[in-house]
Amino acid sequence: MEYILEGIPGKEAGQERAVSSILHLREKLIKTGYNAEEVDYMITVKSGHKDLVRLDWATLKEIEEALAHQLKIAQKCIDLVMP
């Protein structure tokens, strides 16, 4: 899944930061052990099957919060088996 961050016509800085944060969380989830396709599926479902660059700030924040929550859950699971 590829995303374009720079030069998004009509996008505000807050929206660009939110997309950047989502992509950062995506990478962290993958490094935690999620398959890239699993994370992309989460993003796709939460975005309503729309490109991130076409979403409003509120929807981007929802996706960001969902991924952050998922990362916390994953870290708790890891901490249980690898204290």
Tell me the per-residue pLDDT of 12-63, one tens digit each, with 9 for 90 and over. Answer: 788 999 999 999 999 999 999 999 999 999 999 999 999 998 999 999 999 9
Distances (CA, A) of 56 to 9, 17, 32, 46, 59: 13, 12, 28, 13, 6
pTM here? Answer: 0.82
Residue 10: the pLDDT is 55
pLDDT of residue 4: 46
Domain segments of the chain as ranges: 13-81
Burial of 32 per CB tally in 10 Å (0-12, 13-18, 19+): middle
